[in-house]
Amino acid sequence: MTDKAISPLRRRLIEDMAIRRLGPKTQHHYIHHVKRFADFLGQSADKATAEDVHRYQLWLASIGTTVPTVNVSATALRFFFKVTLKRRDLADAVVSVREPRRLPVVLSPEEVGRLLASATNIKHKAALSLTYATGLRSSEAVSLKLTDIDSDRMVIRVEQGKGKKDRRSRAVARGLTSSPPAGPDRSTSWPSVKPSAGATSGAW
């Protein structure tokens, strides 16, 4: 999209998000949901009233919009109204929905073993094993660098994870080892992979 195609209102929204250093994905979602709200109104979103907000959220419920999507939409609109438009009354009219809490599905040790054994590529198996042992998110695992692994202390350094925060994640069981296992089958249980260029400084 060219600069001329961006409305002053959208540009202000983008600037407000950039000032607060919202991530690219968050910015994309906010713009999408504000545009969707404007399309529902049939006019610019800055012309909205509290009744328009009510009608829009009622419409989202009527078409079966999922709770996570409703809440992302609510967060986007609340930011737009409160920060960009300086309309706290409209921000207060936006309603978030409580998401039902469900117990997570926990794999048994045998199921985990079969999952890891299904990976035939050693690098894929290493990534799966490390992710399982440390509880990393998928986005964190793919951004991991070799220098982030402290195998002596069994700790992973996660840079700019969820919420743009650094943290340390401790490995469990035998997710991390500093040296190959001893024994006669050492050559088969610890296959070596020649690192590609930049493997020690770049992402996976």
Give the separation between CA 45 and CA 59, rounded to whole angstroms: 16
Confidence of residue 8 (pLDDT cuts 50, 70, 90): very high
Return the HEC string of 116-173: HHCCCCHHHHHHHHHHHHHCCCHHHHHCCCHHHEECCCCEEEECCCHHHCCEEEECCC
Give the separation between CA 24 and CA 111, rounded to whole angstroms: 36
**What pLDDT was estimated at residue 156?**
75
Residue with the bigger pLDDT between 119 and 170: it is 119
Q: What percent of the chain has pLDDT over 70?
A: 71
Rounded to an integer, the average pLDDT of 149-164 is: 67
Pairing of strands 155-158, 167-170: antiparallel
How does pLDDT run across 97-156, given as a tens digit for each residue? 987 777 778 878 888 788 888 888 888 887 777 777 776 777 777 767 777 776 776 677
- Is CATH 1.10.150.130 correct for 3-93? yes
Which CATH architecture is the domain 109-176 placed in? Orthogonal Bundle (1.10)
Q: Does the pLDDT value for residue 1 go beyond 50?
A: no
Q: How far is CA 132 from CA 15, 49, 109, 187, in A?
A: 39, 48, 11, 24
Cβ 94 vs Cβ 77: under 8 Å: yes
Give the separation between CA 10 and CA 33, rounded to whole angstroms: 12
- Domain ranges within the chain, ordered by starting residue: 3-93, 109-176
Residue with the bigger pLDDT between 166 and 48: it is 48
Average pLDDT of the chain is 78
Q: Say what the alpha-carbon torsion angle 119, 124, 126, 128 is, to the nearest 10 degrees.
A: -80
How does pLDDT run across 80-90, given as a tens digit for each residue? 999 999 999 99
Cβ 107 vs Cβ 116: under 8 Å: no
